[in-house]
Amino acid sequence: MADLFMDTLDIWLMILGITLITAAYGVFMNFVRRPRIATDGSRVETMERTQGVAVCLNVNKCLSLFFIGVGIYAMATGLWATMTWPLPGPYNLVFSDAWPIFGLVTLMLGLAMYVGVDLRYLALPIALFSIPVIVYGVDILVHGLTTEPLFASAMYILLGLAMLISQVPCCLGIMRVSTWVSLSWSY
């Protein structure tokens, strides 16, 4: 059973990386790249075709499907790991319990993007979900739960702080590219 779980941890790590790259792409498409406007007032992207396939009209709608899928997978496998406790002792709490939190946040992001809700409404739930992530980072450092506890705890703590810091501009109404970059990094 341990081999199966190690494969699951590898898949989780790959999904985290792919989700980060996808979120960075969404930030780039929405806020960094300026959309070109056609002469008739419609967006150029609505008229483009790539090798006979129509380009997606709404980038957020397309990305939301990815985030919804990742959120459902992360919640399902995270709940499985939380219920079965395949790792010894405290490792289950630190590594298994953080994965459904990621799944829930990703699912909330995907549903909000699909419906077209302003992402500032996710500010409070994301801030609340950052608390256990910071606590897990401190636990990794205090109990030395990995071979490199300093780096692993720094990853957890910095991720939790990014989730907290990204809320400040949302609550103040200051929405710039840096805000969306920090929001995408926190997911």
In this predicted model, what pLDDT tens digit does every residue of 61-97 receive, in sequence order?
889 999 999 999 999 999 998 888 877 777 777 778 8
Q: Which residues pair with 37 in a beta bridge?
A: 43
CA distance 170 to 164: 11
Contacts of 137 (CB under 8 A, 6+ apart): 152, 153, 154, 155, 156, 157, 159, 160
User: Looking at residue 49, what is its pLDDT?
Assistant: 44
Tens digits of per-residue pLDDT, 31-57? Answer: 666 555 545 555 544 444 444 434 444
> What gap in Å lies between CA 184 and CA 53, rounded to an integer?
28
pLDDT band per the 50, 70, 90 thresholds, residue 180:
low
- For residue 118, pLDDT over 90 is answered with no
At 1, is the pLDDT very low, low, confident or very high (cuts 50, 70, 90)?
very low
Structure tokens at 19: 């989700």
Which residues neighbour 46 within 8 Å (Cβ) at sequence distance 6 or greater? 57
User: In 11-160, where do the E strands start and end?
Assistant: 49-50, 53-54
Q: Could you tell me what percent of the chain has a pLDDT over 90? A: 20
Mean pLDDT value across residues 125-151:
88
Burial of 118 (0-12, 13-18, 19+ CB in 10 A): exposed
**Mean pLDDT for all residues in the chain:** 76
Listed range (14-18, 21-25, 90-94, 181-185) with the worst mean pLDDT: 181-185
pLDDT of residue 186: 53
Q: How confident is the model at residue 110 (pLDDT cuts 50, 70, 90)?
A: very high
Given a cut of 70, whether residue 26 has pLDDT beyond it is yes
